[in-house]
Chains A and B, each alone.
Chain A
Amino acid sequence: MLTETLLAWIVVGAPTVLLCVLGAWSLTGRRLSERFMARAVQAAIVAGLLASSAILTIMLVSDSRHIVIEVGHWVVVPDYHFSLRFMFDRLSVPFVILSYVLCGTIGSFGSRYLHRETGFNRFFVLYAVFLLGMVATSLAGTIETLFAGWELVGLSSALLVAFYHERPAPVRNGLRVWSVYRVSDAALLMAALMLHRMTGEGNFDALMGTGSWPFGEATITGGQALVVGLLLVVAAAGKSALVPFSGWLPRAMEGPTPSSAVFYGSLSVHLGAFLLLRVSPVLALSPLLCGVIVALGLTTAVLSAITERVQTDIKSALSYASLTQVGIIVAEIGLLPPLLGPWACYIPLVHILGHACLRTLQFLRAPTLLQDYRLLENAIGARLPRSNALLQLLIPRPIQIWFYRFAMERCYLDAWLDDFVVDPVLRLFQSLDGLERRWTTFLAGRPSHPREHVQPTATIFEER
């Protein structure tokens, strides 16, 4: 047992140490050499990967299904506690191994790809944040731990989307990703609070009963499960870009190719599905909740499959392809376990693992598309055929054209969100701001500070 605990500590400790070293050094303002950073990332990942593989072996050999390490409590009050704990079971171990393998590979890729780039240091600091976030999320034994990891992943992805902050588009899109993540975070936080209200703690053990994943039995009622479950679904939808949040996924392609690959091709985009898998025993309690999940997953999958068909650039095509599979995986989570029993949770898990590897490879090879097409044309001996779906012949032309535009404008999801969510919220807050100003003016007897008016910088050629 001691060995396991020690190994478990390495799995969690390696990325923590990495982040501390890289982060602390960067805070001093001195630059680390590229070689040192690359080596440090490699060392941490190899250590973590070996330790987690060893744990997997031990679990398989000794048939132990559940290892928990307790880091300590953050807050303890009667009937209430927040604790930091990590849990190794049949869901978290494969997921953490996947994270290590992909992060290791992409880390090695990135250290060559970003050679001499001004943001090299920043990239790897954010990468370490991401790695720690992934490990913490995968291994989380309490919903608070999961939330902490979830936040780290969100923060690092938004900052990596805005990696080229000297141009406006990455910053704009990074902000958009960040806003969607905040919605999803808020939902997760609310779910955590409700769990605390129901069970007195955020531990997944307490929630899922004694059986280890996926055979746990939840200790809450169906009604409670529905409410918590719906919040978790919103959280998952934001993180995994499910409908109606799908619009951010292609926008997130602003960062360097390796970060796009690891975030939106493989790891981060699957986190929503992972969250749902983690609470699968809760889902089993409410058929209605399962229905919602299946519907959401399938809608996402179908819409993004349609959208993918008209994409003309490789990265958008891949991100919608990714989303199609994520939608299917989510639908599987809602559909299969209730039908086939808890063991069916392994199907979406395998799907996640396979999809992550496949898509990462495709993303990394994306810039080589032109050469690939040439090779394929030469092998086939002709121009590449456009796939012609049979459906296309059956559907009347006006409908086809309508769907073409629908797909080209990405199912209008962003416009819809802007119109029905962003704008009303903005208006609401602006009118609240107006009220407050009037109120403070009334109280102070003189007008409060005027709003700062920022003049846009003229981008016109200036002769100094």
Chain B
Amino acid sequence: MSTTEAMTSRQSEKQRHDDRAGRLERLRHAIEHAGHLLPSQGPITVFVHHNTLHAFEDLPFDEAVKSGGKTFGCEPYLAEERYREALERGRIRAVDLEAVLRRDLSRRSDEPILSLGTRFDLRLAMLTHSIQSGPAAELRWFVAETDALERIRPDAPPAARERLLADARRWAQPDSIEARQGTQGRAEEDRLHKIMADALHHFGDPTKNDWSSRTWEKFMLQTLWRICREGTRNLKPVAASPPAITRHRDLLFQATACDIDLLVNDVLIRYCAAYLDQGFAHRLLPDRDRGFFQSFCTIHRQPFGSPERWQRGLEQELTRLQDGQIGPLACLAESLDRLGIREEKWDQYLSATLLSLRGWAGMIQQVESRSDRVVHAIRPGSLVEFLAIRLVLERFALQFVAREALGYTGPLADLPKAAKARIPHATPPVAEKRAFVVFQLAQLLGWTPSELHRLSKQEWSTLIEEIESFSNIDRRRILHGAYERRYFNQALDAVATHAKRSASRPEKPWFQAVFCIDDREESFRRHLEEASSDIETFAAAGFFNVPIYFKGAADAHYTPLCPVIIRPKHWVTEEVAHPHHEEHVRRTSLRRAIGTATHRIHVGSRTFTSGALLSAGVGLLASVPLISRILLPRLAARVRQSFSRFIEPPPLTQLRLERTEETAGPEGGHIGFSVEEMANAAEMLLRDIGLTSRYGRFVLIIGHGSSSLNNPHMSAYGCGACAGAYGGPNARAVSQMLNDPRVRTILAERGLPLPDDTLFVGGFHNTCKDSVTFYDVDRIPASIRADFDEVRKTIEETCDRNAHERCRRFESAPLSLSPAGARRHVEERSEDLAQPRPELGHVTNAVTIVGRRSRTRGLYLDRRAFLTCYDPTQDDADATILLRLLQAAIPVCAGIGLEYYFSHVDPQGYGCSTKLPQNVSALLGVMDGAASDLRTGLPWQMVEIHEPLRPLFVIETTPEVMLNVMERNASIGQLCHNEWILLATLSPDSSDLHLFRDGVFQPYTPETTELPSAKSSFDWYSGWRNNLDFAQIPA
């Protein structure tokens, strides 16, 4: 018997153990799941644009923004007033709004609402007019203090106005009053009679003294108002479900107005920053390598710690956890038990808890999962440990606040009940609010007092329900749809109309230039093409199919130059030409000496002794750079540049591109590509962009990047295809490959012969300063040097003109600037410490066009289009090239467009609001002021003039091919099907467009086939600051 007992007990112990293990496993899983909601922005030095609501991509856009908004407490669309303002200035037309509303209502659109008109009319009125609403007190003030009861709304249509006044006149006729007095009996009639009698009593007899029209108006409005109040009285209250409250903190906050997150975050922000620090603080966090949990325990269990009263007992608790070998998961489970969170609520509770410090939690998750992107990696499992510590702290804070503010000392599991009891349950009065809405709608739609008074209680309920079913978010959804429709139609019309003008490639091009697909290069290409019809431009993703780790001659480390999803397999270095080697060594050591000294000063100035010596001794000298850099930024930059010319590496350098060893690696002979690999990369680039014949004398391949000061978000302005870095080295590398005779031999064998007299030249476009520099110019043979100088001159002029077009968007740049003046202006911007808008980045992006340039050449796209070159006539039946291109282009361009969308519609929640008070923390991100959650998303200065639209894609292919691509790539399919992006195809051999809507391609009928034309881009844009319409430009 004893053996059986022992066995059962052992069994049950084992079972308990299994249960426990299973439970912890489920907990780990729940955390993983909750973690999906965290922002996926990594360290700010490698800024990658991505869809802010990526976690909701499995939902259709409109549902996703709604539930995302609920989860994060953010706005789904712009505010209603912004759309109405757009409606007023014609950015949204009435036809757009009507079309979108009809489409949304479809068959329900013409259903009558009682006898008061159709649903369509009601909703349209609610969309086009702003309906005042607010708390009862505000409405009471509004009614009493404004002329709401004296004048009909000025925006009421004349017909409605007439109708209302006529009704009032008819009503006040003595015979009609008498007639109504006859029909005694019905309670409503009685009440109405009373209202009338009151009003008449107040205003006097209309038959005796001649009422002015204003008096009639007043009389009518007061009657109407009273009828509305009467009608909406005692209706069923809104059946809105109260927002689900998951966290104890929320309840306690509502009951006591004390926010425990303030206490907890104060500790955690500092600690998270110290844990994640990438080398800013002088002192390393003790026990950092043992992980978040252990390190926190080690530090916070010390005796004589914080005198903060809410932390009393924390030392003992942490000692217990650490000495009792209680791991983070077990600790977490324990905390959840104490808080009384049942297992089925874990997901909800944990995600709400994580989101209360989402920036830091998200960064922990990012650093943990992408250890290759940071200097100081952290241990896996840090997010779990973070959550464990967070809950321990929350328990202490909850206990403290419950005791101090609520007088509650019981177990935490019962705290919600105690807190709920203390929340005052006053349902706000809604009758007046409803009355006021009906009152306003009646004026807009001409619902007369007599019509309204005839409604029964039941009918009033129906009316109110109908009005309230068209909520604020639904209105904004429709308004937003109209806002988008206007631009989409304009864009599609322009593309369709322009595509009719069949342009062909120049027979003998002078030179060709390949740029990044970036929207900022659109204007550059256009200006270049306007310079001569013999110039051709192309575009490919800015790493030009050469994903590399690159180290420049003056760089300390390799930088990955390719989209983040790719991990490069090749390493490339820049080396100083041999004759200058000694000079290079000398300058390197000079730079090192200066760098070391600067670093010493930088650090020393913040310490006790060196700081005192520096500031008292030479501190006054700091006034020279201080004053000069702020008052004369451009001059100061010039001086610095001429100084740095003596310490930079010598200008003659070359890339180490070819490896001698079998395998690729970062050292010695492993650096570089094999000839075969070079040929592959080069071939892929040429085939992707369709540049397979008619080569010019020169083919320029130009990467891009952006330079600015005082800008933690600098990498968000860089080349997206190079993870925010400079794409110059990629352009240089691929040019060098294409010039290599061995590569050319292989290409010729593969059916891609390159003419011997075609030279590829790599370059770099600084999109902030608008400067273009070329690489390896010293290798251009003397015989064609003069030709190249001609090319260079054209590029320089294009820089000026491009800068000029950009300057129209800067309010601080006068519209009267000359192109050269504009160039100076943008140069100054990039060198000015006081400039929060060095450039405007992708702010105007709206559309992506994938196709041959000949289809869009000469179309003024206003820097709003990503242009990817793709020649459908050269693709195979499987659309291999298209799939490859879209796999990169759709996530990147949609990511940019959607991130701008969300950062603009809710700059505080999705964006990181203004950058002016921001503070770089842990070398990883920015905070607001001295301590806040880490701010993700884009700053307001970057998105301010953005038009939030879903990205529109126009792809030159057939609907069948596109459907095939969508099927083969699930993530593209999902984005299209759920309408995160709007998709249209342009037929390769006609100007027919097909629009992808509701899961199918439908032919698109252009609204217009007119397209304005202008002599040049300059003519079209000069004098304007806002977004411009499409136009045809000879090019």
Contacts and interface: CB of A to CB of B under 8 A. Distances in A.
A361 B622 CA distance: 7
A379 B627 contact: no
Nearest to A380: B595
Interface in B300-325: 300, 302, 304-309
Given A105-B626, A351-B615, A415-B306, A321 B605 contact: yes
A313 B307 contact: no
Interface string A285-319: 00000000000000001100100111111111111
B305 A464 contact: no
B473 interface: yes
B283 interface: yes
Interface in A362-400: 362, 364-384, 386-387, 389, 392, 397-398, 400
B284 A386 contact: yes
Contacts of B74: 461
B926 to A, nearest CB: 8
Contacts of B619: 351, 353-358
A257 interface: yes
Interface string A75-86: 000000000000
A366 B253 contact: no
A379 B594 contact: yes
Interface string B803-839: 0000000011000000000000000000011111100
A73 B473 CA distance: 63
A contact face: mostly helix, strand, loop, or mixed: helix
Nearest to B927: A313
Contacts of A369: 280, 712, 920, 923
Given A309-B281, A412-B306, A325 B612 contact: yes
Contacts of A254: 917, 928-930
Given A351-B616, A381-B556, A387-B282, A313 B592 contact: no
Interface in A106-122: 106, 108-110, 112-117
Interface stretch (B267-275, B519-527, B738-746): B267-275
A191 B621 CA distance: 37
A58 B531 CA distance: 62
B270 A315 contact: no
B833 A378 contact: no
Interface stretch (A8-16, A62-70, A452-460): A452-460
Given A312-B277, A318-B606, A386-B282, A324 B833 contact: no
B60 to A, nearest CB: 18
A357 B594 contact: no
Given A250-B930, A408-B271, A368 B472 contact: no
Contact of B281 (A311, A353, A416): A311
A56 to B, nearest CB: 15
A260 B916 CA distance: 11
Contacts of B714: 370-371
B115 interface: no
Nearest to A301: B608
A383 B279 contact: yes
A358 B922 contact: no
B920 A354 contact: no
Contact of B298 (A114, A371, A401, A461): A401
B607 A419 contact: no
A373 to B, nearest CB: 7
A347 interface: yes
Contacts of A356: 619
B554 A328 contact: no
Contacts of A101: 623, 627
B615 A400 contact: no
B45 interface: yes
Interface in B559-605: 588, 591-592, 594-596, 598-599, 602-603, 605
A169 interface: yes
- Pick from A164, A312, A415 the residue with the most CB of B within 10 Å: A312
B843 to A, nearest CB: 13
A134 interface: no
Nearest to B627: A105
A350 B607 CA distance: 18
B606 A317 contact: yes
A310 B282 contact: yes
A405 interface: yes
A425 to B, nearest CB: 16
A316 B921 CA distance: 9
A96 to B, nearest CB: 15
Interface in A260-297: 260
A253 interface: yes
A408 B281 CA distance: 11
Contacts of B308: 412, 415
Contacts of B280: 311-314, 317, 369
B921 A313 contact: yes
B279 A366 contact: no
A262 B305 CA distance: 35
Contact of B472 (A164, A455, A463): A463
Contacts of B285: 404
Nearest to A408: B270
A446 interface: no
A115 B304 contact: no
B235 to A, nearest CB: 18
B617 interface: yes
Interface in A80-95: none
Interface string B776-809: 0000000000000000000000000000000000
Interface in B238-274: 240, 243, 250, 253-254, 257, 270-271, 273-274
A35 to B, nearest CB: 9
8 contacts: A113-B834, A173-B930, A254-B929, A317-B280, A321-B606, A324-B611, A366-B920, A384-B599
Given A308-B606, A361-B623, 4 more contacts: A351-B615, A364-B626, A405-B302, A455-B254
Interface of A: 101, 105-106, 108-110, 112-117, 163-164, 166-167, 169-170, 173, 250-258, 260, 301-302, 305, 308-321, 324-325, 328, 347, 350-351, 353-362, 364-384, 386-387, 389, 392, 397-398, 400-402, 404-405, 407-409, 412, 415-416, 419, 454-456, 458-464
